[in-house]
Structure 1
Amino acid sequence: MSKPVPEGHYAQLANGHRIHYLDQGQGPVVVFLHGSGNGGCGYSNFKGNIAPLVEAGYRVLVPDLIGFGYSAKPTDVEYHLDLFVQCVVQMLDALGIDRATLVGNSLGGAVALGCALAHPDRIDRMVLMAPGGLNDLPDYLAMPGMQKMFALYGAGTPPSKEQLKDFFISAFVVNPAAVTADLVNERFELAKTQCPQAIQTLKVPNMVARLGEIQQPTLTLWGLNEQMMPDSGILRLGKGLPNGRMVLVPNCGHWVMIEHRDLFNRMVLDFLEHG
């Protein structure tokens, strides 16, 4: 039976968990960190962004965060930000990588921020797309997209393809054409295997008070039609990062790397080359 998304490599971590990752290209390392959501995984989030970086001379790693995709799904842990950070850094350790650039969307953006705070010597720079970790939980729960996501998770049964498609269109994008049949099929199949505990115990602290500690050059892209992350995060991040640059993208929801793929790829490559 064919797998819903490509299977790459596995890294055995010092903490005993196993992380799945795709590995393409040679050169400075760029790690893509995906968001949560139903059927979340690295490939579905970033399949349109890998090749341009590889062609430009970068080594691109696309892991599935613990609890997601083909990575380990332990049921005896709580999925706090510290666990995600630990797994990403231990993956770099297992691959003999000293430093990397992190590109993170949503939960993946929060993981990138957490890595920069806990292991600043390992992170060269960051690209963030509407990251978590900038508000307290009630602010997130008030967002319409978050309400729809938790309603799907709390239904007790995996969502249908139509439910997933409707959710992605209403919560993640402005242009419905960005939600392709392939994307829905991939995430539908992966949602069946997802670890419920990864969402039920997910905890990301508010890191705004510590943003000033992060010295890495950082590019943030934020869709102005965001349904998942509160707009207050724009100024908190824009003012909080000493070496940050903020790009606001109109006609764009939560998935700037999918909905405005060419713009995203151009801006990321320019940032990697010129800062």
Structure 2
Amino acid sequence: NFKGNYPEFADAGYRNIVLDLPGFGRSDKPDDVNYDLAFFVTALNGFINALDLPKVTLLGNSLGGAIALGQALDYPDTVERLILMAPGGVEERETYFQMEGIVRMVEVYSRGPMGVDQMREVMSLQLFDSAVLSDDILAERAAVAVTQPANLFSTMMVPNMTERLGELNCPVLGFWGTNDKFNPHQGMHKILNNVPTARFIMLNRCGHWVQVEHQRLFNSSCIDFLQHG
């Protein structure tokens, strides 16, 4: 999802670490763990410590946004800034599972590992304009999907962190699309109302992947945020 973003951040002089979470991509995929927020935050914090990183800017979309929030809340000394795109973790689980995109994802995933056609069925809902979905992207994702553990989504529990948002004291830049079918964009107001250091960019004609559909605006806004706070 970030192939059109991190090269520009690198060109601007920033080190980029693009992380595959456990259960995803080419990372380990244990089938005997609960893939809940605490598991992912523990993995991320361990990763930061193992590389002995200084304070980091965490950039996260959806589940990644929830994990970034969890890291900043539980280990504030590790986080300098947050960049969030339609982050999870600010609604009750029931709210997310009423969203069209998640309903479809669960339905398709319950049939077994997603092939290219099934991947297109789900991923087309991630975008306002699905024309940007190439066969190469779909094939790449389908190849990973067959390796994912069966309990990945069934154990994915992310608590509603709205009541803890006031604990955040780092600058936050957020993005949300009004056509998001996975995370309700009203969550933006929960962050803005509770985090004085937060600001958001709301975009129409945009789904769940701001960084893909509005790549130029996203990249320039993030670089400005990194340079000027």
Report the TM-score, using the length of structure 2 for normalisation: 0.97
Q: 1:68, 1:195 within 8 Å by CA — same for their partners in 2?
A: no
Does residue 208 in structure 1 map to residue 181 in structure 2? Answer: no
Q: Does 1:82 align with 2:82?
A: no
Where do 1:126-141 residues align within 5 Å? 126-141=82-97
What is the 5 A alignment of 1:86-235?
86-155=42-111, 157-169=112-124, 171-235=125-189
Aligned partner (choices 5, 8, 19) of residue 52 of structure 1: 8
Shift of 1:77: 1.2
Local SS of the residue matching 2:46:
helix
Residue 160 of structure 1 and its aligned partner are, at CA, apart by 2.5
Corresponding position of 1:66? 22
C-alpha separation in 2, matches of 1:98 and 1:77: 29
Identity between Structure 1 and Structure 2 (%): 42
Shift of residue 98, structure 1, vs aligned partner: 2.6
Question: Does the residue aligned with 2:146 lie in a helix, a strand or coil?
Answer: helix
Counterpart CA distance in 1 for 2:170 and 2:131 is 35
Paired residues of 2:162 and 2:191 also in contact (CA < 8 A): yes
Alignment match, 1:15:
none
What is the CA–CA distance in structure 2 between the aligned matches of 1:249 and 1:175, rounded to whole Å?
14
Runs of 4+ off more than 4 Å: none
- Equivalent position SS for 1:231: coil
Counterpart of 1:266 in 2: which secondary structure? helix
Q: 3-state SS of the aligned residue for 2:70?
A: helix
Matching residue's letter, 2:29: K
Q: Is the 8 A contact 2:176 2:201 kept in 1?
A: yes
Q: Which amino acid aligns with 1:60?
A: N
Matched to 2:184, the amino acid is: P
Match of 2:200 in 1: 246
Taking the aligned partners of 2:31 and 2:144, their CA distance within structure 1 comes to 17
Measured after TM superposition, the shift of residue 197 of structure 1 is: 1.5
SS at match of 2:17: strand
Does 1 or 2 have the higher relative contact order (CA < 8 Å, sep 6+)? 2
- Compute the displacement of 1:79 (Å): 1.1
Contact 1:109 1:130 in 2 (8 A): yes
Q: Is the CA contact 1:130–1:254 (under 8 Å) kept in the aligned structure 2?
A: yes
Distance 1:200 1:68 in 2: 15
Cross-structure match for 1:271: 225
Is contact 2:86-2:185 (8 Å) kept? Answer: no
Number of the residue aligned with 1:261: 215
| RMSD after superposition | 1.0
What TM-score, normalized to structure 1? 0.81
Q: Deviation per CA, 1:173-205, whole angstroms, max 9, x where unpaired?
A: 011222122211110111111122221100100
Which digits, 9 at most, give the CA deviation of each residue in 1:79-121, with x for residues without a partner? Answer: 1101111111111111111310000000000000000000000
